[in-house]
């Protein structure tokens, strides 16, 4: 049985520019990834069947059937490659569901990377990205799982290296409320507030924004409470909501400040989910 990590996705900035005729939104986002996330393990089957088992702290309520993105990714890779092999897959769900950190998309992307190795297909990143694109807007970015700029509906990718970002201490906090991406997008006010400047980390800190944060806070006021708490902590360099929420993040100057912040939040909000990690490098 071999293993692959599904790295949590963070939108350091997310600019919504307009709504497209196909119903999707034109986006500009700076994606980064945490060093931690869900974990997938798999062993090969020779009968072609795909069997998924889900465990972990956020396994409850997840369907392991054909609609699960991991299963869909496996079947898509089988179809693209022509392999007759199958797999027994175990997904350990460490990330909260519907939380804006790409859990399902990251799981699907990790499944593609994992099964490509397990079946010795040697598809290559370009081939995996082609398979990933129909599975969801964030799945291609999660295949790469490096800091990158995504445009279009999120599928056009440009890998970036921002000095100072790699291995930066990161804290993820979710108030324990699942949030519908569709509802958040429908709450966006339609105002184009300008292009994203991803030339440096400082530009993202001072000029970046998440245009979905305001409609998400309107739906789940607890998000505002998380952001306010994180913003007031010592050593914080940047605080925002990720994706369509409800998970928020804070980048810290050092790991000590991050760990003290994590302990403080756990002590006063025992029902909140907290993960202390770092930004994943190349």
- Report pLDDT digits (tens) over 139-155: 999 999 999 999 986 66
Neighbour count for residue 271 (Cβ, 10 Å): 6
47 classed as catalytic = no
For residue 153, the model assigns a pLDDT of 66
Give the C-alpha distances (Å, rounded to integers) separating 17 from 10, 62, 209, 256: 19, 33, 12, 37
93 classed as catalytic = no
Q: What is the dihedral of CA 209, 212, 217, 218, to 10 degrees?
A: 130
Please answer whether residues 136 and 108 qualify as being in contact, where contact means their C-beta atoms are separated by less than 8 angstroms. Answer: yes
For the segment 108-132, what is each residue's pLDDT rounded down to a tens digit?
999 999 999 999 999 999 999 999 9
| Whole-number average pLDDT of the chain | 95
For the segment 11-48, what is each residue's pLDDT rounded down to a tens digit?
999 999 987 777 677 899 999 999 999 999 999 999 99
Model confidence, pTM? 0.95
For residue 8, the model assigns a pLDDT of 98
Q: How confident is residue 250, by pLDDT bands cut at 50, 70 and 90?
A: very high
**Spatial distance between the Cα atoms of 154 and 9, rounded to a whole number of angstroms:** 13
For the segment 171-210, what is each residue's pLDDT rounded down to a tens digit?
999 999 989 989 999 999 999 999 999 999 999 999 999 9
For residue 223, the model assigns a pLDDT of 97
Q: Mean pLDDT throughout 233-249? A: 97
Q: What percent of the chain has pLDDT over 90?
A: 89
Catalytic residue among 5, 9, 38, 107: 9
Catalytic residue among 38, 107, 116, 138: 138
For residue 100, the model assigns a pLDDT of 93
Instruction: Assess whether pLDDT exceeds 90 at residue 211.
Output: yes
Q: How confident is residue 3, by pLDDT bands cut at 50, 70 and 90?
A: very high
For residue 20, the model assigns a pLDDT of 73
Give domain limits for the chain. 2-159, 169-278
CATH of 169-278, one of 3.30.565.10, 1.10.3720.10, 3.30.70.890, 1.20.120.450: 3.30.70.890
For residue 18, the model assigns a pLDDT of 80
Nearest in space to 236 (alpha carbons), one of 203, 263, 265, 258: 258
Nearest in space to 249 (alpha carbons), one of 7, 12, 5: 12
The 3-class SS string of the chain reads: CEEEEEEEEEEEEEEEEEECCCCCEEEEEEEEEEEEEEEEEEEEECCCCEEEEEECCCCCCCCCCCCCHHHHHHHHHHHHHCCCCEEEEEEECCCCCCCCCCHHHHHHHHHHHHHHHHCCCCCCHHHHHHHHHHHCCCHHHHHHCCCEEEEECCCEEEECCCCCCCCCEEEEEECCCCCCHHHHHHHCCCCCCCCCCCCCHHHHHHHCCECCHHHHHHHCCHHHHHHHHHHCCCCEEEEEECCCCCCEEEEECCHHHHHHHHHHHHHHCCCCEEEEEEECCC
Q: Mean pLDDT throughout 74-88? A: 98
Cross-strand pairs, 42: 2, 89
The CATH-assigned architecture of domain 2-159 is 2-Layer Sandwich (3.30)
Nearest in space to 77 (alpha carbons), one of 109, 45, 105, 41: 109
Beta strand 156-159 with 169-174 is: unpaired
**Fold matches, 2-159 and 169-278:** no
């Amino acid at each position: 049985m071999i293993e692959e990590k599904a790295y949590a996705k963070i939108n350091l900035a997310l600019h919504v520019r307009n709504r497209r005729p196909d119903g999707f939104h034109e986006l500009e986002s700076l994606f980064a990834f945490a060093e931690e996330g869900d974990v997938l393990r798999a062993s090969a089957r020779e009968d072609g069947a795909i069997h998924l088992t889900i465990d972990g702290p956020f396994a409850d309520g997840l369907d392991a059937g054909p609609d699960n993105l991991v299963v869909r990714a496996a079947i898509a890779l089988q179809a693209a490659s022509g392999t007759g092999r199958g797999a027994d897959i175990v997904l350990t769900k460490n990330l909260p569901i519907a939380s804006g950190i790409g859990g399902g998309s990251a799981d699907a992307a990790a499944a593609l990377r994992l099964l490509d190795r397990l079946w010795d297909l040697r598809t290559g990143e370009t081939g995996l990205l082609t398979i990933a694109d129909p599975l969801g807007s964030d799945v291609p970015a999660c295949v790469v799982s490096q800091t990158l700029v995504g445009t279009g509906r999120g599928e056009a990718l440009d890998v970036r290296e921002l000095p100072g970002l790699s291995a930066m201490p990161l804290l993820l906090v979710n108030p324990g409320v699942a949030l519908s991406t569709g509802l958040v997008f429908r709450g966006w006010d339609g105002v184009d507030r300008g292009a994203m400047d991803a030339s440096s980390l400082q530009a993202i800190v001072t000029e970046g924004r998440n245009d979905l944060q305001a409609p998400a806070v309107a739906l789940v006021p607890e998000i505002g409470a998380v952001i306010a708490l994180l913003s007031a902590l010592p050593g914080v360099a940047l605080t925002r909501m990720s994706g369509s929420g409800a998970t928020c993040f804070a980048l810290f100057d050092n790991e000590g400040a991050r760990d003290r912040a994590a302990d403080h939040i756990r002590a006063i909000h025992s029902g909140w989910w907290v993960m202390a990690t770092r930004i994943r490098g190349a």
